[in-house]
Structure 1
Amino acid sequence: MSTGGRRPFPDLLAVFAHPDDESLAAGGVLARHAAAGARTAVVTATWAPDTPRAAELAEALRVLGAGPPRMLGYADSRVPPSAPDRPRLLDAPLDETVRELVAHLRAFRPRIVLTHDAYGGPTGHEDHVHTHRVALLAVQAAGLERLYPDAGAPWRPDALYLATHPHSAVRSWSGLLAPTGKRMYTVPDDHVTAAVDVSPWLDRKVAAILAHRTEVERGAAPGLIAALPDRERALLLGTEWYTRLGLAPTPPGGTDADPELWS
């Protein structure tokens, strides 16, 4: 995030389960970093590159300034035709999936990595939860030269940020989410280490969400957002919340090496 003019915005790689997760969970931060001149990119764990949803992902990333899609190409756990020649993400060998993500981390060399929280975000989707676990393993492994030596030169990001939602936010949304009829998985407010006002980039975030036309048409989260008035969209999407996990070595004195990357 912004550092008060002291240094550039850090390069950022986001790792999410499905096309549209990047826009819903972190579209504002991705747009903000790209607008500030940082390199940004997204790795998507599921869906094959030759599907309509991959084309929609490419359009969303263009809107956010996050480069071309980087797709692991596994099948969505609930939509086997999403990658008919590949296993479901949940069924793929863990070591294989971690190695693929390590290769992306070492190739892009981000200072910050974003991914789902341990719940997999408010929906608790099993692919989100698994992607969280893969990302945790991969960011640790990427900096160790004897792990996956064929996946590129070692690289250790400074921090991993988990996209999350505090209890208080969901309470404030009141009836906005009632049409989903779903249980919401949220964290105590004091688990949030960065609450980012992304309202200046809200137009880009909404445009990226709506680029996922398949999900709009079937009434998934992008469809819910498409039906909302601008004021309610701003309430639902104008802030993004993250929990920071430091990855850099702790210097003498016991503080994080760079605790204000997102201040």
Structure 2
Amino acid sequence: MPLPDVLAVFAHPDDESLAAGGVLARHAAAGARTAVVTATWAPDTPRAAELADALRALGTGPPRMLGYADSRVPHSAPGRPRLLDAPLDETVRELVAHLRAFRPRIVLTHDAYGGLTGHEDHVHTHRVTLLAVHAAGLERLCPDAGAPWRPDALYLATHPHSAVRSWAGLLAPAGKRMYTVPDDHVTAAVDVSPWLDRKVAAILAHRTEVERKAAPGLIAALPDRERALLLGTEWYTRLAVAPTPAAGARPEADLSS
């Protein structure tokens, strides 16, 4: 069975490779259409060029950038508001336009914590994506953003509590607090080890973050065995978007669990 087309929505350049690089590479290698929308950083910055290199390593389409400023790096998008300060309706409409233009079956984004680090831009991107995925399928919302489209599912990139041991050794020395979810919240644990070389190449393409010893820099210093342990599985929580009632079924008379 062919793998479905995927659109990933993440806050910063490098989030796509760290959180979902294996799944993106897997789907792209199988012939599915894959693309990434990045909420922050302007297209004419060095980090945007690094993002383009990372996406080539993963085999996805070229960068799609909303171009807002990183909340902690004002020069990331000169003259543009921080993502957190931009009008919510405007940001949602921009993302709806990408969803309707690309028409993915699956959308990926940060979980409600914003991933392990809980970065405020990650959390906000999660909220914007949830709103945009639902709005994209409603014809009277954002009518100027293209014909309605409703993906089948939204998957939230996450980490279960049981993964803490693997990641603690990497992030604890950097003083990072980790946000993880109960293991039973994980609905997909994807073995991405066959695509690990592509994922690592994409992470290391974010040279600015390697040089400043952010997560890509910490990963660059690891031996291959530890990289495989850390990056060889990706975890997701699935949120259904499109209901799938049986043909001819009547609507339920009440809510059920």
Is residue 2:138 matched to residue 1:134? no
Displacement of 1:256? 16
Displacement of 1:84? 1.0
Map Cα deviations across residues 91-131 of structure 1 (whole Å, 9 max, x no partner): 00000000000000000000000000000000000000000
TM-score by length of 1: 0.92
Displacement of 1:180? 1.8
What is the rounded CA distance, in whole Å, between the counterparts of 1:239 and 1:259 in structure 2? Answer: 41
TM-score by length of 2: 0.95
Map Cα deviations across residues 140-182 of structure 1 (whole Å, 9 max, x no partner): 0000000011000000000000000000011244523332221
Displacement of 1:205? 0.2
Note closer, same or farther for the CA distance 1:127–1:114 as it changes in structure 2 (3 Å cut): same
For the 8 Å contact 1:173–1:235, the answer to whether it is kept is no
Aligned residue pairs total 256
Q: Percent identity?
A: 90
Note closer, same or farther for the CA distance 1:191–1:259 as it changes in structure 2 (3 Å cut): farther
Q: Give the aligned CA root-mean-square deviation in angstroms.
A: 4.0
For the 8 Å contact 2:170–2:218, the answer to whether it is kept is no
**Unaligned stretches of 5+ residues in structure 1:** 1-7
Note closer, same or farther for the CA distance 1:258–1:27 as it changes in structure 2 (3 Å cut): farther
**Unaligned stretches of 5+ residues in structure 2:** none
Residue 67 of structure 2 aligns to a residue in which SS?
strand
For the 8 Å contact 2:69–2:80, the answer to whether it is kept is yes
Residue 190 of structure 1 aligns to a residue in which SS?
helix
What is the rounded CA distance, in whole Å, between the counterparts of 2:14 and 2:233 in structure 1? Answer: 17
Map Cα deviations across residues 34-80 of structure 1 (whole Å, 9 max, x no partner): 00000000000000000000000000001101111000000000000
What is the rounded CA distance, in whole Å, between the counterparts of 2:69 and 2:143 in structure 1? Answer: 27
What is the rounded CA distance, in whole Å, between the counterparts of 1:248 and 1:133 in structure 2? Answer: 18
Q: Which runs of 4+ in 1 moved over 4 A?
A: 253-263
For the 8 Å contact 1:53–1:212, the answer to whether it is kept is yes
Map Cα deviations across residues 207-257 of structure 1 (whole Å, 9 max, x no partner): 000000000000100000000000000011000000000111231399999
